[in-house]
């Protein structure tokens, strides 16, 4: 059933089609009647309040202060359109086109993953490890200039100013949330980000502009990624695809049906496909004592750790996320 038909069915069911205005508290009641079987009660409340704030610029406490506030048919329309999409389990962030990460706003659509709290923990780890280095970076330090090869969109050495302090590369940037957050929190760093998806890079570029940071975005495939041998980064970070096909049954419908599979899934028979490519790349293109940070599959923490060990990374640390799952890995190039 198309969305407009779902919306009109809901409106007709509750007698809203014929009304010129409707009480906001009635719409909230309709949200619960339609969604409580799909989502927890508190989550339905959160959906409703985020929608009225987004579309009507009304704060969540409006119904406490004005319990009989009403809205017009024109004002109610986007709320019921959103309700129709929520009934299909479309993520609210895609409905609104907005998500939040590290207290920053990001545009999102079906071409990029929705930023997640676990990824914030990875970024916070990097910031904690490197904020002092970034503040104390010596702008007069002797560092060679390097060239990005034709495999990286023929971007030349003018993209890299090695006097800018830390050099960071985010592999598989998606919405750009990792790269942009690092550029914001480590302002002396020079941040680069790559992705195979042109559409994702368009979103990431808009997000960099929205958050007023400079990140160099480059279209490239990590499985076929080559840089000039003298190009080095101090930090390489990645949240690559890591969900195995066998784990699809564990994935919620709102993720499986709407978020890009290209950024989510890997074959069962080669689950570390991207980690192997990233590790080999980091082995060549990390500076001496440079660090690699990875978000990982919670079931493959030890296997991914062994991969870093096999490539001679040292001081390898496996960390759990807020939910107690093995989710983050760090290694240092000797």
Instruction: Report the 3 state secondary structure along 211-280.
Output: CCCCEEEEECCHHHCCCCCCCCEEEEEECCCCEEHHHHHHCCHHHHCCCCHHHCEECHHHCCHHHHHHHH
Residue 77's pLDDT is what?
93
- Domain boundaries, position 30: 3-88
Whether residue 110 is found in the same domain as residue 79: no
Residue 181 inside a domain? The answer is yes
Domain annotation covers residue 254: yes
- Please list the residues that pair with 235 across neighbouring strands: 168, 291
> Quick one: 114 and 57 in the same domain?
no
pLDDT at 226: 73
**CA 39, CA 217: separation in Å to the nearest integer?**
37
Q: How many CA atoms lie within 13 A of 250 on its CB side?
A: 10
Within-domain flag for 97 = no
Question: Which residues of the chain carry a pLDDT beneath 50?
Answer: 4, 17-18, 134-163
Residue 230 shares a structural domain with residue 132: yes
Residue whose C-alpha is closest to residue 184's, from 205, 208, 167, 162: 208
Q: Is residue 98 in a domain?
A: no
Q: Total domain count for the chain?
A: 2
User: Does residue 168 contact residue 192 with C-beta atoms inside 8 Å?
Assistant: yes
Q: What is the pLDDT of residue 249?
A: 85
The per-residue pLDDT for 15 is: 53
> Tell me, what's the pLDDT at 131?
81
The verdict on residue 96 lying in a domain is no
The pLDDT, as a whole number, for residue 6 is 53
| Residue 80 and residue 123 share a domain | no
Round to whole Å and give the CA distance between 240 and 249: 20
What is the model's pLDDT at position 21?
Answer: 73
């Amino acid at each position: 059933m198309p969305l407009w038909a779902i919306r009109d069915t809901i409106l007709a069911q509750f007698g809203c089609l014929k009304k010129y205005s409707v009480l906001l508290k009635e719409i909230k009641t309709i949200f619960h009647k339609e969604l409580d079987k799909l989502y927890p009660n508190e989550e339905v409340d959160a959906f409703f309040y985020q929608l009225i704030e987004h579309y009507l610029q009304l704060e969540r406490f409006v119904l406490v202060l004005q319990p009989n506030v009403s809205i017009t048919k024109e004002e109610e329309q986007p709320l019921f359109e959103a309700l129709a999409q929520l009934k299909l389990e479309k993520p609210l962030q895609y409905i609104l086109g907005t998500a939040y990460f590290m207290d920053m706003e990001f545009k999102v659509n079906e071409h990029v993953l929705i930023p997640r709290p676990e990824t914030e923990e990875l970024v916070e780890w990097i910031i904690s490890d490197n904020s002092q280095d970034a503040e104390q970076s010596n702008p007069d330090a002797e560092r060679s200039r390097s060239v990005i090869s034709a495999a990286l969109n023929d971007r030349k050495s003018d993209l890299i100013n090695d006097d800018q302090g830390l050099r960071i590369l985010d592999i598989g940037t998606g919405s750009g949330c990792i790269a942009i957050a690092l550029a914001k929190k480590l302002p002396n760093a020079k941040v680069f980000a790559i992705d195979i998806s042109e559409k994702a890079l368009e979103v990431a570029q808009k997000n960099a502009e929205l958050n007023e940071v400079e990140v160099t975005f480059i279209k490239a495939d990590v499985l076929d990624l080559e840089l000039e041998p003298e190009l080095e980064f101090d930090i390489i970070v990645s949240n690559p695809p890591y969900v195995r096909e066998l784990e699809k049954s564990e994935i919620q419908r709102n993720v499986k049906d709407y978020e890009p599979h290209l950024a989510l899934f890997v074959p069962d028979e080669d689950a570390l496909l991207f980690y192997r490519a990233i590790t080999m790349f980091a082995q060549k293109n990390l500076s001496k004592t440079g660090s690699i940070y990875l978000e990982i599959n919670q079931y493959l923490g030890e296997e991914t750790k062994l991969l870093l060990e096999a490539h001679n990374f040292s001081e390898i640390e496996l960390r759990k996320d807020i939910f107690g799952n093995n989710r983050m890995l760090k290694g240092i190039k000797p």
